[in-house]
Amino acid sequence: MKDKTFLMIPGPTPVPESVLLAMAKHPIGHRSSEFSCVLEETYENLKWAFQTKNDVFIYTSSGTGAMEAALSNLLNPGDKVLSLIIGNFGQRWAKIAASRGAVVDTIEVEPGCAINPDELEARLAADVNKEIKVVTLTHNETSTGVTNDVKTLVKLINKHGAVSVVDGVTSIGAMECKMDEWGIDVLISGSQKGFMIPPGLAFLAASEKAFKLHEKCENPSFYFNWSAYKKSVKDNSTPYTPAVNLIVALDEALKMMKKEGLEEIFARHKRHAKALRAAIRAMGLKLFVEDDSVASCAITAILPPEGISVPDIRKVLKKDYDIVVANGQNQLKDKIFRMGTLGYVCDRDLIAAVGSLEAALKKLGHKFRPGAGMAALIEELTA
Amino acid sequence: MKDKTFLMIPGPTPVPESVLLAMAKHPIGHRSSEFSCVLEETYENLKWAFQTKNDVFIYTSSGTGAMEAALSNLLNPGDKVLSLIIGNFGQRWAKIAASRGAVVDTIEVEPGCAINPDELEARLAADVNKEIKVVTLTHNETSTGVTNDVKTLVKLINKHGAVSVVDGVTSIGAMECKMDEWGIDVLISGSQKGFMIPPGLAFLAASEKAFKLHEKCENPSFYFNWSAYKKSVKDNSTPYTPAVNLIVALDEALKMMKKEGLEEIFARHKRHAKALRAAIRAMGLKLFVEDDSVASCAITAILPPEGISVPDIRKVLKKDYDIVVANGQNQLKDKIFRMGTLGYVCDRDLIAAVGSLEAALKKLGHKFRPGAGMAALIEELTA
């Protein structure tokens, strides 16, 4: 049905109507006092979402832009970087570091697993001359639906003395991520995820320690330059023309988030993912991440039942139920499908999604008792 | 009055209602077939606007992002760049080139003037060993309202053999800019100008000659990498999550532009700027760019009458008439104000703006005959 599409992908995520309408207003001048007021409030609320006293910069870019913004302000050619890789987005950190001429070492695990803190500890202990300047990691790996124990990993990185650079694209606004308390040096995120607005903005906060390394960076990016952004934040401004309408939308969305409360948002994501996982199991499907302790609250990756293909499941869900779920990426393409419970998602959305998945699986000939998934979902949602 | 603001700045420019409403729709998945169709049409229409057979890449960034996208795909440290500077945005090319480690030479003229082709010819002739790899220039300098003769300048650059990199941020969709016919190697633009959508997107097209230099670039930007974008254009996709809603808006705006026709759009901008200049002179004000032959069709810079300050003019226009005009930038701050006639501007808008400026000047004590500006404007508009 036209205009009925519901996105259950890991971004873009559903956008509240009030946010869409705020975005649809005529753009205002980006150097006007009205826009300064919007920025002042937005910068303040971003600090709240990042749980930090550091300034949070707003880049007009995708999340990948913010990843480049992180490393292009820290690295000189020849610098040693350790990249902790649990999926595509962890891999992307390594690629960007290499594109800056860094010497990149990695700890890489099988897709579906998280980084083992002991392995990181051993690797850092072996770096006796403290050559590793930067360690990159992913909080929530969107490609597999695995969440790293950032708190523990960052503690080890801080003990070593390296700068930690964390991808919080699909974690901030969805799961606990305490930048200051955990001692994260550089934290990035994106707009079309937990922040409930369309894609086009990315965010970055950097600690004092990170800024000290930045000072040694000889050719930082001009567009993403931290020093220019830091100066602009002080003036409630941006160095270059930002995506004004998206920032007006963000202002609205952040106010909604504050009204709900961070703890409540995290609890909702946790409850939804837990309920979805129970429903998936009850339908006789397998979860790609069996281990509940590392399973993401934002994205659940699911294996198709034998004899039924991922493209068929996606096609029926889209065509007959107007629900979009994501395929796997790269080597996981057609091996898994991914359902997002990220951002502006309510219980009813989840009920509709699980019911539709049951209907789709029945059509495709999966042998199970329709309603079993719904029963498990409702059990968890009403617990 | 609330929600009545009319932007006469050089961007963001006014956005058509149909474009705002297209933008306000729920985001669609950026890997969906629906979005591929939108991209296919948009890519095709961008080529039309750029008057080129080259692919036009869509970056989620400001125009400055596209400037970095241009040079970060061409330059290696130590490469020699010649920057033609007629204002702030020409200066920005030089800064970005320097941030990539290039050795930057400049031709710089007084604000309000254009580059003299003879001076460029002499400078290029002196480069007997063809050390200059890239020449950067600005088509329409937004900070002063001066338009360079890009056709002639690029001809000289091509004769020398260097790669020409042209800022078309406020020229494309406002004035003649024939990428292929003029032999421009790299051409960039931004969304919130002639393209009539809010800020957040930037565009870049590169010639085969530019791509050959790109192949020699050792550490191109990851986020802005041309090769990645070129591959994506072929698949009607983008390498990273783009600003989906802005692209849907762009699709709508480009269709409106095609309906009007490029020649008609250029004629409208020319007619509006000419009429505004006549009106300004008739009010007894001075134009910052006296020479009609280099005056911009998109932005008109105006000196305040003696004894009346730029901030006062801007304040009255904003407060009493809901019109926003721009101040000068940097050393021109409070020395000039700038009125944009760029993008989605009709005759009535111009009539309202000139009438309001007359009213504001009368309030501020300027000695002139109110109605004189309007008479000159109407004379030109109805000629």
Residue of A nearest to B218 (CA): A99
Q: What is residue B46's predicted lDDT score, i.e. its pLDDT?
A: 98
H or E element that contains B105 = strand B103-108
Alpha-carbon distances, residue B374 vs A50, A130, B324, B352 (angstroms):
53, 72, 19, 9
Chain A, 71-100: which have a CB under 8 Å from a chain B CB? 72, 77, 95-96, 99-100
Predicted confidence (pLDDT) at residue A1 exceeds the cutoff of 90: no
Instruction: For residue A245, give the nearest of B99, B198, B244 by CB distance.
Output: B198
From the centroid of its chain, how far is CA B374?
Answer: 27
H or E element that contains A234 = helix A226-234
Min Cα separation A106/chain B (Å): 19
**A195: closest CA among A295, A331, A298?**
A298
Chain B, 147-176: which have a CB under 8 Å from a chain A CB? none
Kindly list the residues from chain A whose CB atom is less than 8 angstroms away from the CB atom of residue B16.
Answer: none
Predicted confidence (pLDDT) at residue A253 exceeds the cutoff of 90: yes
Chain B, 249-278: which have a CB under 8 Å from a chain A CB? none
H or E element that contains A7 = strand A6-7
- Is A24's CB within 8 Å of B27's CB? no
Instruction: For residue B241, give the nearest of A3, A23, A62 by CB distance.
Output: A62
Predicted confidence (pLDDT) at residue A383 exceeds the cutoff of 90: yes
Asked if B325 has any chain A CB less than 8 Å from its own CB, the reply is no
Structure tokens at B253: 């705006």
Angle at B14 between CA B10 and CA B20, to 5 degrees: 135
Least trusted range by pLDDT, from A2-6, A175-179, B47-51: A2-6
**A343: closest CA among A9, A48, A4?**
A9
- Most B-contacting residue of A21, A223, A247, A324 (CB-CB within 10 A), to test interface: A223
How many other C-beta atoms can be found within 10 angstroms of the C-beta atom of residue A218?
A: 10
Residue B173's identity, in one-letter code, is G
Section A215-235 average pLDDT: 98
Kindly list the residues from chain A whose CB atom is less than 8 angstroms away from the CB atom of residue B12.
Answer: 27-30, 241, 244
Instruction: For residue A219, give the nearest of B61, B67, B100 by CB distance.
Output: B100
Q: What is residue B2's predicted lDDT score, i.e. its pLDDT?
A: 86
Residue of A nearest to B20 (CA): A24
Residue of A nearest to B59 (CA): A61
- Is B99's CB within 8 Å of A219's CB? yes
Instruction: For residue B245, give the nearest of A7, A190, A198 by CB distance.
Output: A198
Angle at A2 between CA A325 and CA A299, to 5 degrees: 15
Kindly list the residues from chain A whose CB atom is less than 8 angstroms away from the CB atom of residue B222.
Answer: 64, 67-68, 95-96, 99
Residue A37's identity, in one-letter code, is C
Share of chain A above pLDDT 70, in %: 100
- Is B61's CB within 8 Å of A63's CB? no
How many other C-beta atoms can be found within 10 angstroms of the C-beta atom of residue A211?
A: 18
Q: What is residue B355's predicted lDDT score, i.e. its pLDDT?
A: 98
What DSSP designation does A295 have? B
Determine the Cα–Cα distance for residues B173 and B51; give it in Å rounded to an integer: 10
Determine the Cα–Cα distance for residues A260 and A173; give it in Å rounded to an integer: 11
From the centroid of its chain, how far is CA B312?
Answer: 27
Q: What is residue A23's predicted lDDT score, i.e. its pLDDT?
A: 98
Q: Is the dihedral of CA B219, B52, B294, B369 positive or negative?
A: negative
Asked if B326 has any chain A CB less than 8 Å from its own CB, the reply is yes
Chain A, 224-243: which have a CB under 8 Å from a chain B CB? 225, 239-243
Kindly list the residues from chain B whose CB atom is less than 8 angstroms away from the CB atom of residue A21.
Answer: 24
Determine the Cα–Cα distance for residues A30 and B169; give it in Å rounded to an integer: 16
Kindly list the residues from chain A whose CB atom is less than 8 angstroms away from the CB atom of residue B199.
Answer: 27, 30, 60, 241-245
Residue of B nearest to A18 (CA): B24
- Is A241's CB within 8 Å of B190's CB? yes
Section B89-107 average pLDDT: 98
Residue of B nearest to A199 (CA): B243
- Is B200's CB within 8 Å of A9's CB? no
Share of chain B above pLDDT 70, in %: 100
Instruction: Name the β-bridge partners of A295.
Output: A146
Phi, psi of B300 (to 5 degrees): -115, 120
Predicted confidence (pLDDT) at residue A2 exceeds the cutoff of 90: no
**B56: closest CA among B232, B319, B308?**
B232
- Is A62's CB within 8 Å of B27's CB? no
Predicted confidence (pLDDT) at residue B257 exceeds the cutoff of 90: yes
Kindly list the residues from chain B whose CB atom is less than 8 angstroms away from the CB atom of residue A31.
Answer: 9, 326-327
Predicted confidence (pLDDT) at residue A44 exceeds the cutoff of 90: yes
Chain A, 97-126: which have a CB under 8 Å from a chain B CB? 99-101
Predicted confidence (pLDDT) at residue B1 exceeds the cutoff of 90: no
Q: What is residue B331's predicted lDDT score, i.e. its pLDDT?
A: 96
pLDDT tens by residue, B142-182: 999 999 999 999 999 999 999 999 999 999 999 999 999 99
Min Cα separation A125/chain B (Å): 31
Structure tokens at B75: 């330059």
Min Cα separation B215/chain A (Å): 14
Determine the Cα–Cα distance for residues A230 and A178; give it in Å rounded to an integer: 21
Residue of A nearest to B200 (CA): A243
Determine the Cα–Cα distance for residues B84 and A307; give it in Å rounded to an integer: 64
Residue of B nearest to A329 (CA): B31
Section A295-321 average pLDDT: 98
- Is B242's CB within 8 Å of A192's CB? no
Residue of A nearest to B68 (CA): A223
Instruction: For residue A12, give the nearest of B5, B29, B219 by CB distance.
Output: B29
Share of chain B above pLDDT 90, in %: 99
Average pLDDT, chain B: 98
Residue of A nearest to B96 (CA): A222
SS3 B293: coil
**A225: closest CA among B270, B95, B73?**
B95
Residue of B nearest to A15 (CA): B26
pLDDT tens by residue, A346-362: 999 999 999 999 999 99
